[in-house]
Amino acid sequence: MLRPSDGRQAICLLTLLGFAVGIYHLSTRFYTSAAFERPVFFTIGTLLICAVVLRCCRARWTSPDRRAQALKVLRPPPMSVYRIRGKGIRGVVASAVDVIQRLNSSFSTLLVCLVVRTLLWWFTLRNAQCSWRGVEAFLPLATAIVDGLLRLLPEQLPRNKPGTAQAHPSKPRILSNVAFGLAAALLGVTSMRALDASIVATGAVCPVGWRVWPLTPYLQMAMCLLDAIIMVHIFRLRRIEEDDGHDISQFMSTLFIGAAACTAMVAFTPILMELSTIYVLRLNYLEVRDLLMESCVAAAAVLCALSLLADVRPGTLAIVIVGLGLFAFGMPGLASGALLPPSSSTEIIRMAFVVSALMGILLFTAKLPEMSSRAGTGVLVHRWMKLAYLLCVIGVCATWVVPSSPEPARVALSAAIHKLVQVAEVDARQWSEKAASSQTLEDAVTEYRRRYGINPPPNFDKWYEYAKTHKSPIIDSFDQIHNDLLPFWGVLPTEIRNETAHLLRYAGLGMGGLRIRNGALQQSPHIPGTHRWMADTMERMIQPFAKWLPDMDLAINLADECRVTVPYAEKQAILQRASDARSQISSSLGKDGAKTKGWSGKADWPEEWTEPRGDFNKASDLSHLFSSNLRKQLFYEWIAPTCPPDSVARNSRWWDRSTACAACVAPHSLLTDQGAIMAHLTMADDLCYQPDLAYLNGFILSPTVANTKTLMPVFSQSRVGGFSDILFPSPWNFALKTEYTESEDVDWAQKRNVLFWRGTSSDGYASDGKWTGFLRARLVNEGYQQARPPTEDNSLGVNVSFAGGVSKCDEADCRAELATFRHWGQAVLPRGYFPAKDDESLPFVTPFEEHWHYRYLIDMDGAGFSGRFLPFLQSRSLIYRASLFRTWFDERLRAWHHYVPADVRLGRGFWAVVRYLASDERDDASKHTGDEIAQRIAQRGREWAAKALRAEDMQIYMFRLLLEWGRIVDDERETLGYVGT
C-alpha cells in the first residue's frame, strides 16, 4: 500500500499517527492534568510553541522563492492614499486603526475565533456543573455546515498563479450531504447520552436565575461552532498553499502570536487591576510541569493537524478528533463503574457500539479534498484511517468480551451494611475494653509506659483520681493527645514558649490568651468581646483541676478553622527529633532516681500580657509566619505539601467539581450493587489521595483565616487532615450552646420517617461561584432532587433546606445563593415555612427542638466542625455524619456503631444507605430490617454519648492534655514524670 520511495506519504502517515497520539493523550489527561485547570495559560502556551516551531521550520526548510510568495497578514495600502498621522496618542491610535482595517479577512476571523474560543473554554470549564457533556461530539456536523456555507461564498484569498484553476465547488451531492448530516447529528446526540450514562456526577450546583450559568450549554455550542470555523478556514488556507504555492507558515505563526497576546490582554488585565486577585497568576511546580507537557503535546497535535488539512477535509479531521476524544475521555468514565454510573454496563456498551457505528459511517463516507495536488496522499491517509478505525473497534470489542482485569466485586447493599455494623460492633467493644483496662493507678502507670514508652507526666495520680471520681469510661486510650503533642518533643521548650508569645502578639491572627500561674487562671484582656464567652467557658472547664497544673500560656484559636500545616519533609525531620528525644527518656525507665515527681518550675513565662499589634482578625496585621488565605483555595499550597512526594495530591489534580473521581473514593469505600458507601473512615481522613476535595469543601476552597507552615502551638477545636493544630474540647459544646433536652425528644416510633436538615451556608466564603461545590449546597441540591413528602405507607421523606439568610458572600453570589436556595425550599416545603408577603426570603429558622421529631438527622461541616453533632448523638434519632473536620472525641466513636458515616461527596451510595435504613427490607444474614438496624445504631450512639461524651469527659480530656503540655514546655522535661508512690 505504501511505496517506500514516496517519502511524502510516509511523513503524512507519521503526522496522522502523531495527531492521534496527541489527541488521545490530552483526552486521557483531561481530568487529572493541572493544565486544564488553567485553560488560558494552556492555550497561550500552545499558541506560542506553535508559533516558534513554524518560524523555525520556515527559516530552516522554506526556500527563498517560496518565502517571497508568503501569504500577507496585512493588505497593501492604496497607492493613491497618503495619510499624515499626528503625533502622540492620536498618532498611535490612527496607526492601530489603519492596521486593523488592513488586516487580511482570514487573519482577523481566525484571530477573533481563537481568542473568543479560549475565553468560552475557560468559562465552561469553570462552570462544568452547568455544562452538557459531549457537546463537542457535534463538531463533525458543525464543520460540515460551516464548510458547506463557506464553499458557497466567492474565494477571498489571493491567487499568485493566474493560470491556476480556481477550486470551485463541484456540483453538490445532496443525498450524500444529507446522509452525512443526519449521521453526524445522531453521533452528537448518542455521544452525549453515552457520556451522561457512564459518568457519575457529584451534585455540584448549577444556580438558577437569569445569570450566565444557565447559558453554559449554549456557550459550549458556540465554542463548537468556533472550532468548526477555525478548522475550515485553515483548510482553505492549506488548499491555497498546496495549489497556488503560497507559504502560510509566517501567516499562521503571526496569527498564533497575535491570538496569544490578545488572549493574555483580555484575560489578565482585570486580574492585574485588582491587587487582591493577583495570586491567581501564580504557578506552582506541578502546574508549570503539566502546562509545559500538555502545551507541547497540544502544539504537536495542532501542527500535525495543519499538515493533515492539506490531504483531508476538516469534517474528516473532526471525526478523528471526536472519535479519539470520546474513546479516551470515556474510558475513565467506564472505569468509574466502581461508583455505579447512572446506567447499567450493558446499556453503556450498547450506546458505545452505536457511537462506533455512526463514527464508521461518517468516516467511510467522508469526502476527499477537491482538486488537490496531493490527491494520492489524501486517498492513502483515508485508507489508513479506515484501517485504524476497524482495528480500534476490534480491540475494544475484545476488551469488553475478555476484560484485562476482573471488575471489582460488589456486594448487596444490605449485606454490606450488615458487615460494616458487625465489624464496628466488635471494634467498639474491643477498644472500650482496652481503653479502661487499668483498674488501679499502678496499672494505669504501667499501661502508659507500655503504650507511650515514657513515664506519665507529673500529677498523673491527681488526674487518675479525677477521672475515677467522675466515672470516666476511658483511662488508658488517649492516643489523640499523644499524636497531637508528639511533634513538639522535637522543638525546644524555649522555642515553644517564644512561639506562644508570638501568636498572642498579633491581633490579626485571631488568637486568645489563657494563662495559668500558681494554679490560678487568667484571661488575656485583649480577647474581643465577641469571643469572650469562649475564654469564660474554658476557664470554667479548667478551674476544677488548675491547681495541679504548672505555669503555662495557651494560644487558643478563636476561629472555627484550623491554622497549622507543616510541609512533609519538615514534619518528618521534627518527628525524628521528637523520637530521638523520647528514646533518651525511655532508655532510663525504671531506674531509681531517673525521674522526679514534681514540676521543676523552670519554664520562663512572661508576667504581663503584651499589647497586641493591629486589630483582631485583620489580614493587614499578620505575623510574618502567617499568610492570609481569604477566599484562596488551600489544597494545592497548604494541604498537598504535607503529603509524601509520591502521593497523588502532589502529582495530580481533579479540577472538575461536577464529575466524581473514582480513584479518590474507592480506597475508603465498600462497593455495593447500589453504589459506593463509606467503610474506612480513618483512611478517608487522609487527603493525600483525594485531590478532588480541593473543590468540594468550603473550608478548603474558600477559607477566611490566616495559616502558617511553621509548627506553632495553636490549640484548635477541630482540624482537617494534613493540619497540625492541637485539639481540645470545644467551648461551644461545654457551654451547651446547642443543648439537647430529653423531655422534648420522642420515641423512635413517634418520629417521622424523614431525613431532616436545616442550616445556613456557612461552609466558606462564597465568591466567584465557589459555593456551588460546598458540601451543604450539594446536600440540599441532591436532597431537592430526591425530595418527596412522606406518604401513608411510611416510606422515606427528605426534608433538607437552607433557612434564615445568606452571609459570607460577594453581592453577586449572595443573590445567586438566595435565588437557588429559595427555589429548592419552595419545591420541598409548604408555603407556611416562608415569611408572609416576602418573595425573596429563605424558610424560617427551625427551632432546635424540632429536630427530635425526625428519625434521621444529618450533621455536616460548616466553616469548621459542627457544634450540633454531640446533641444530635444524645437524641433518639439516627445520625448521619459527613465531615472532614476531626475533633477530640473522634477516637472514642466508631462509625457504623454509634452513627452512620457519609462520604462528603454524598452521591448515589449515600442515598441508597438512607433509603435502606428507612425501609422494612430484611437482610438474610442479620435477620433485621433496615429500620431496626437504624434504631440499634441510634440507641448505641445515645448510650455511649451519655457515658463518654459528657461535660465531665471534656474536663478529663483537658486535664490530661494540659498535664502533657506542661511537661513539654518545661526546660527539664527529660527528667519529669510520675514514677508512682
* pLDDT, tens digit, 9 for 90 and up, residues 525-570: 999 999 999 999 999 999 999 999 999 999 999 999 999 999 999 9
Assess whether pLDDT exceeds 70 at residue 432. Answer: yes
DSSP, collapsed to helix, strand or coil, labels residue 752 as strand
More confident residue, 232 or 271: 232
Assess whether pLDDT exceeds 80 at residue 583. Answer: yes
pLDDT 10s digits, 768-816: 889 999 999 999 999 998 875 545 456 888 999 999 888 888 888 898 9
Mean pLDDT of 17-44: 92
Give 281's pLDDT tier (boundaries 50, 70, 90).
confident
Give 35-78 as a 3 state SS string.
HHHCHHHHHHHHHHHHHHHHHHHHHHHCCHHHHHCECCCECCCC
- Find, among 437, 44, 500, 431, the residue nearest to 263 by Cα: 44
How much of the chain exceeds pLDDT 90, in percent? Answer: 53
Assess whether pLDDT exceeds 80 at residue 100. Answer: no
- Find, among 777, 967, 752, the residue nearest to 862 by Cα: 777
Distance CA 560, CA 554 (A): 17
Q: Is residue 261 part of a domain?
A: yes
- Find, among 194, 188, 191, 195, the residue nearest to 141 by Cα: 188
Q: Is residue 140 part of a domain?
A: yes
- Find, among 341, 340, 332, the residue nearest to 33 by Cα: 332
Please, what is the average pLDDT of the chain? 85
Assess whether pLDDT exceeds 90 at residue 88. Answer: no
pLDDT, position 198: 74
Distance CA 526, CA 507 (A): 8
Q: End-to-end alpha-carbon separation of the chain, Å?
A: 95
More confident residue, 915 or 592: 915
Task: For residue 382, give the amino acid letter.
Answer: H
Q: Is residue 448 part of a domain?
A: no
**Which helix (H) or strand (E) covers residue 589, if one does?**
none
Using the CB atoms, write b or e for 229-266: b if 16+ within 10 Å.
bbbbbbbbbbbbbbbbebbbbbbbbbbbbbbbebbbee
Assess whether pLDDT exceeds 90 at residue 468. Answer: yes
Provide the domain count of the chain. 1
pLDDT, position 335: 45
The number of beta carbons lying within 10 Å of the beta carbon of residue 280 is 12
Paired sense of beta strands 752-759 and 797-802, if any:
parallel
Give 925-970 as a 3 state SS string.
CCCCEHHHHHHHHHHHHHHHHHHHCCHHHHHHHHHHHHHHHHHHCC
pLDDT, position 336: 47
Q: Is residue 980 part of a domain?
A: no
Distance CA 486, CA 480 (A): 10
Distance CA 865, CA 881 (A): 11
Counts of helices then strands in the chain (DSSP H, E): 31, 14
pLDDT, position 277: 63
Give 330's pLDDT tier (boundaries 50, 70, 90).
low
Task: For residue 609, give the amino acid letter.
Answer: W
- Find, among 814, 730, 717, 832, the residue nearest to 771 by Cα: 814
Give 301's pLDDT tier (boundaries 50, 70, 90).
very high
How much of the chain exceeds pLDDT 70, in percent? Answer: 84
Contact between residue 223 and residue 117 where contact means Cβ atoms under 8 Å apart? yes
- Find, among 557, 563, 565, the residue nearest to 628 by Cα: 563
Task: For residue 450, give the amino acid letter.
Answer: R
Distance CA 223, CA 221 (A): 5
The number of beta carbons lying within 10 Å of the beta carbon of residue 163 is 5
pLDDT, position 167: 45
Assess whether pLDDT exceeds 60 at residue 406. Answer: no
Mean pLDDT of 866-884: 96
Please list the residues that pair with 749 across neighbouring strands. none
Distance CA 692, CA 201 (A): 13
pLDDT, position 370: 61
pLDDT, position 543: 96
pLDDT, position 133: 86
Assess whether pLDDT exceeds 90 at residue 487. Answer: yes
CB neighbour list of residue 977: distance below 8 Å, 6 or more residues apart: 454, 455, 456, 457, 458, 585, 595, 596, 597, 967
Distance CA 751, CA 855 (A): 5
Specify the pTM.
Answer: 0.89
Paired sense of beta strands 675-678 and 669-672, if any:
antiparallel
Q: Is residue 213 part of a domain?
A: yes
Q: Is residue 203 part of a domain?
A: yes
Distance CA 686, CA 657 (A): 19
pLDDT, position 842: 85
How many residues does this entry show for the chain? 981
pLDDT, position 680: 94
DSSP, collapsed to helix, strand or coil, labels residue 863 as coil
Q: Which three cell numbers stand for residue 443?
A: 496499672
Mean pLDDT of 500-528: 93
Sheet holding 752-759, edge to edge: 797-802, 752-759, 854-860, 878-882, 900-901
Contact between residue 574 and residue 540 where contact means Cβ atoms under 8 Å apart? no
Task: For residue 504, give the amino acid letter.
Answer: L
Q: What is the DSSP string of 470-527?
A: TT-S-SS--HHHHHHHGGGGGS-HHHHHHHHHHHHHBGGG-EEEEEEETTEEEE-TTS
Contact between residue 813 and residue 771 where contact means Cβ atoms under 8 Å apart? yes
Lowest mean pLDDT among 12-26, 234-248, 966-980: 234-248
Torsion-angle region of 473 (φ positive above 0: left; ψ -120 to 50: alpha; else: beta): alpha
In degrees to the nearest 10, what's the CA dihedral of 804, 806, 807, 810?
-170
pLDDT 10s digits, 693-708: 999 999 999 898 899 9
pLDDT 10s digits, 337-385: 555 666 566 666 777 778 878 878 887 777 766 645 556 667 777 777 7
The number of beta carbons lying within 10 Å of the beta carbon of residue 95 is 12
Domain around 134: 4-78+86-152+171-401
pLDDT, position 622: 85
Helix axes 105-126, 39-61, angle to 10 degrees: 150
Please list the residues that pair with 672 across neighbouring strands. 411, 675
Distance CA 27, CA 325 (A): 5
pLDDT, position 244: 64
- Find, among 865, 889, 906, the residue nearest to 693 by Cα: 906
